[in-house]
Amino acid sequence: MERQRSATGLAQVRSRREKTRRVIVAATGEVKPGGYYGPTGFGGIRGVAGEAKRAPHAEDPKLAKRLWDVSIAMTGIDPGLPAA
């Protein structure tokens, strides 16, 4: 087991198996196209891996376009992908 400190300074203990499971589920599990996967517990920051909830702003098309435009402006790279 590995000991970690959380943002609040409280010690957390997570087994390597639990950490590895999250990666394996993300890479090989049954997933839905466009799905969002991660911890399913308290606040989306803890718990077993699975289909997780998305914040409302994560699905905002105007915000997505702004992020894309700012990313292109900051990096100088436009991959020329079609709009989603």
Tokens of 56: 């409302």
pTM higher than 0.85 for the full model?
Answer: no
Report d(CA 46, CA 39) in Å as an integer. 5
Q: What string of pLDDT tens digits covers the 84 residues of the chain? A: 445 555 554 445 567 777 777 778 778 877 888 888 888 888 878 887 788 888 889 889 999 999 999 999 999 999 888 876
Tokens of 46: 């803890």
| Cβ pair 26, 49 in contact under 8 A | yes
